[in-house]
Chains A and B, each alone.
Chain A
Amino acid sequence: MMKEFPKEALDLDEMILSYIRRGTDHQDSEEFNRLALLVFELQVKYIPIYRCYCEKRGIHPENISSWDQVPALPTDAFKVMDLAMFPSFTVRTFMTSGTTKPEERGKVGYDDGGLQLMDATIDEAASVFLFPERIKTKILILAPSPDTVPHMIMAYGMNRLKESFGLPQSRFLIGQDGFEVQVLVDELRRSEANGIPTTICGGSFGFVNFFDYCREKGLRFKLPPGSRTLDAGGFKGRSREVKREEFVGAGEEFLGIPKYYSVNLLGMTEVSSQFYDNTLRNFQRGLDLPETKVNPPWTRTLVVDPDTLEPLPQGKVGLLRHFDLANRGHIAAIQTDDLGRTTSEGFEIYGRSRGEEARGCSLTIEEMTRIQKD
């Protein structure tokens, strides 16, 4: 067993960290490519099974010159084995949800360095796409805290948001006894009264359940200016699918949150970074850019042909493949089964290509926030 964390990984983490800390307003592709190849080299060196996988495809760090030649790993591979770079240094394991069968849950192990990278991506991305005016707000989270669900990456990420961007009154709203809906109502009333901007974040379906609750109880809130929502997870595989316009409309109706302040993000257990909508950033900065999910500079997204897995030109619909420098601790190139297409700034996602299995953290959150009809 490895006794000491290898220095070359520490050094690489340092380089990636400073690249992430440069923020999202640059496109230094040369440096991205250099770091991507270093990450690949290290993953091939330390993850023997990934090395075999690449060798079978005739790919070695010496014979490629660009990040897009790096063999991508289908997400289901995480269901059959531990792909952490340094398993003996794993401090935290996140698991995919959407199924109760443990053998059908993907597991991704993080070492300390990997967690630091993820923390940095959360801070940098949120400070541009969720809090572009660099303010702190009260953050109310429609999810359980990481203490209750240590394997849920969304809970981890939301906790980081709370620590970096939350005022002291911020809190999680799913406890041992489920969704504390009365606490949420009280907190929102308090915000209305004291005028403190409030951010509500959580699984997309958790919001829908709360909107249903408001509709049923005749509740309406007028949250102070600067309040916003952040939802993640989407609706695929859910009892009902809610269109974005409908979702945003409900945010305006029940919470009094203007449409530009409803932000959606795509997060995946297998990818450390998050992909935000550019709506709030565009609004705050007066940018007239098409709405899209954005690739922050430390990530890239390709669209590949579903049958051959060969890259497709921009605009063509296919399967999304992400490359994330912050994935240093497991595998950087991830082949998803999400359908989408690339845009000038990032990509659009149309949902899972396979409809039958629900994906994302949203499912368990739905179960936890389902409000009993009395």
Chain B
Amino acid sequence: MEIIEVDAYYVPPDFRSQVKDFRTEVYQDENITIHLKIPQISNSFVETLTDHLKKRRETYLASLPIGKIIDVLDEASRKWLERDYPLRKLALKTIPFTTRFSREVVEASIDVEMGSSLREDIWHALCSEIKNPLFLDDFQYSPELNGYSRAFGPKLIISIFSENIPALPHLLFMRSALLKAACLGKVATGEPTFAPLYLKTIEEIDPEMAESMAVLYWRGGEQDIEEAAFHHADAVIMFGGVEACESLREKIPRGVKALLHGHRLGFGIIGQKRLCRKGLRELAASVALDCSMFDQHACLAPHIYYLEAGGEVSPKEFCRTLAEAMERLNLKMPRGKISPGEASAIHQLRAKYEFRELNGEEVLLLASPHGTDWTIVYEKDPGIFSPSPLNRFIRIFGVEDILQILPSVKSIAPYLQNAAVAIGDEREKELIRRLGELGVARITSPGKMPIPSMMWHHDGISPLASLLRWCDIEKKDP
């Protein structure tokens, strides 16, 4: 039996003496015991900590050149991409345990997240949102203004992480650092181990920068602590359920910026031109990846793939090729463990499709040979956007004309986010235009749904620019 001690928190080196009381939560299964160390915190503790983070930001991070910040973040990502990096190895033990994702899913997730967080990605993200990253360092000449501009980030950002995507919290620390903001993260109960490890990496590279970053755990809605934290923040970023986001919105004081990323729904669309024999296996492998990555827990994941009839390969035939791809991928990157309720939901829904199929309806059920590992159900588009029970359960809806899907997509407009589109003829432009109008925030190709670039306007907003405050100099004579 292996015993691992791991922290569910991170405070900067110079603040550590202030953390005095801990409790330990013990998690164990047959092979591994995890001792999760959690500090006892109060609202005054949170106040002292936020104060420390802001002060140390002021003396260091606030005046650190953006180029140097990017160096640190790039190096951190590169460390995490190394197979032998000790903290990565540790995370690969703890995250599968806390989230019940398979080790392979967690590994892929770290590779995807860190692989899209390298120097070039960061630089592009900055350029795409604020044109010239040097605006963050000092006043820069702006020809349109015919003057000088400078961008100031928040002093302190509170980031509330969700547990559905392992290795995502690093993105919030990266964004904060790029804005030269101190950042206090709150980890999710379901996955408290990654964020503290990531900050240890920052500490290894630049301990002074780490002085303005911390991670704590408190229960969502813990009034005193949240009030203390929000009171000292300039911005709050949250990932979580729609209701959790709504209830948080009410608690955020006026004047504090809030970026709330509630749960969203994704889908894919493949036109008849793309449903051909050539490249069929590759296309199926791409769709399988979209449906399997993060076990479909990400907002980015598709619930439905719409397939257009009339191509060389029928939607039903595509389902059979997709089934092979799902099974292959499951061998390579197994689905994680799921709760009895999640498994039961899959069995019950499978039964509905199986009986409709046995009844002679135009329905197809294809399922993993064992358990609930993956499921494909095919039917003609019922005209309702039906969410999937997740955990690698994909609905394939057959349509006569791809533009028919727009009304049902419109019905979930507030929750639209990510769409894979492969039409292959002149209608693609029109479809993309309509999807954009309806509220889709990201359009990509099959196989790329779970891998947004860092340049992406996350949920349709500019995650960096929207937190900036500008100062312009409009003055002819100096």
- Taking Cβ atoms with an 8 Å cutoff, the residues of A that contact B are 49, 52-53, 56, 73-77, 79-81, 306-309, 317-319, 335, 337, 339, 352-355
Contacts and interface: CB of A to CB of B under 8 A. Distances in A.
Interface in B327-342: 338-341
A53 B344 contact: no
B428 interface: no
B355 A81 contact: yes
B358 interface: yes
Contact of B347 (A56, A335, A355): A335
Given A53-B358, A81-B359, A353 B340 contact: yes
Specify which of A53, A73, A75, A77 lies most central, judged by the most chain B CB atoms within 10 Å of its CB. Answer: A77
Contacts of B372: 307
B356 interface: yes
A308 B354 CA distance: 17
Given A337-B341, A353-B339, A354-B341, A309 B352 contact: no
A75 B370 CA distance: 20
Nearest to A73: B351
A79 B352 CA distance: 7
A308 B371 contact: yes
A309 B350 CA distance: 13
B17 interface: no
B32 interface: no
Contact of A77 (B338, B343, B352): B352
B347 A74 contact: yes
Contact of A353 (B344, B349, B352): B344
B345 interface: yes
A77 B345 contact: no
A341 B339 CA distance: 16
Interface residues of B, number: 21
B18 interface: no
Given A53-B354, A307-B372, A308-B370, A76 B348 contact: yes
Contact of A80 (B338, B343, B356): B356
A80 B339 contact: no
Given A53-B354, A75-B348, A79-B352, 7 more contacts: A76-B348, A77-B355, A306-B344, A307-B371, A309-B347, A353-B339, A354-B345
B354 A337 contact: no
B136 to A, nearest CB: 45
A53 B355 contact: yes
Given A73-B351, A74-B348, A76-B351, A52 B341 contact: no
A318 B372 CA distance: 15
Interface string B119-157: 000000000000000000000000000000000000000
B171 to A, nearest CB: 29
A79 B340 CA distance: 21
The dominant DSSP class at the B interface is helix
Nearest to A55: B358
A307 B338 contact: yes
A76 B389 CA distance: 14
A74 B371 CA distance: 15
A52 B338 CA distance: 29
A77 to B, nearest CB: 5
Given A307-B371, A353-B339, A337 B345 contact: yes
Contacts of B343: 306-307, 353
B355 A80 contact: yes
A34 to B, nearest CB: 28
A298 B310 CA distance: 54
A80 B347 contact: no
13 contacts: A52-B358, A76-B349, A77-B351, A79-B352, A80-B355, A306-B344, A306-B347, A308-B371, A337-B348, A353-B339, A353-B340, A353-B341, A354-B344
A76 B352 contact: yes
B5 to A, nearest CB: 30
Nearest to A308: B371
A56 B348 CA distance: 17
Contacts of B351: 73-74, 76-77, 335
Contacts of A352: 341
Contacts of A49: 355, 358-359
A352 B341 CA distance: 8
A354 B359 CA distance: 27
A116 to B, nearest CB: 28
Contacts of B370: 308
Contacts of B340: 306, 317-319, 339, 353
A75 B372 CA distance: 17
A76 B356 CA distance: 12
A319 B352 contact: no
Nearest first, the 3 closest Cβ-Cβ pairs linking A and B are A74-B351, A306-B340, A353-B341
Contacts of B344: 306, 319, 337, 353-354
A130 B358 CA distance: 42
A355 B341 contact: yes
A142 B350 CA distance: 36
Nearest to A357: B345
A137 to B, nearest CB: 39
A56 B358 CA distance: 10
A353 B343 CA distance: 9
B369 to A, nearest CB: 11
Nearest to A83: B355
Contacts of A317: 340
Contacts of A52: 358
A335 B354 CA distance: 15
Interface in B197-215: none
B341 to A, nearest CB: 4
Interface string B231-267: 0000000000000000000000000000000000000
Contacts of A337: 341, 344-345, 347-348
B349 to A, nearest CB: 7
A322 to B, nearest CB: 15
A80 B352 contact: yes
Contacts of A318: 340
A308 B339 CA distance: 12
Specify which of A56, A76, A309, A352 lies most central, judged by the most chain B CB atoms within 10 Å of its CB. Answer: A76
A108 to B, nearest CB: 14
Contacts of A306: 339-341, 343-344, 347
Contacts of A56: 358
A357 to B, nearest CB: 9
Contacts of A355: 341
Nearest to B371: A307
A29 to B, nearest CB: 28
Specify which of B341, B345, B359 lies most central, judged by the most chain A CB atoms within 10 Å of its CB. Answer: B341
Nearest to A317: B340
Contacts of B349: 76
A76 B345 CA distance: 10
B368 to A, nearest CB: 10
Contacts of A74: 347-348, 350-351
Nearest to A335: B347
Contacts of B352: 76-77, 79-80
Nearest to B372: A307
B373 to A, nearest CB: 9
Nearest to B344: A337
Contacts of A76: 348-349, 351-352
Nearest to A52: B358
Specify which of B351, B352, B359 lies most central, judged by the most chain A CB atoms within 10 Å of its CB. Answer: B351
A370 B338 CA distance: 37
A338 to B, nearest CB: 9
Contacts of A339: 340-341
Contacts of A77: 351-352, 354-355
Specify which of A80, A337, A355 lies most central, judged by the most chain B CB atoms within 10 Å of its CB. Answer: A80
A304 B125 CA distance: 50
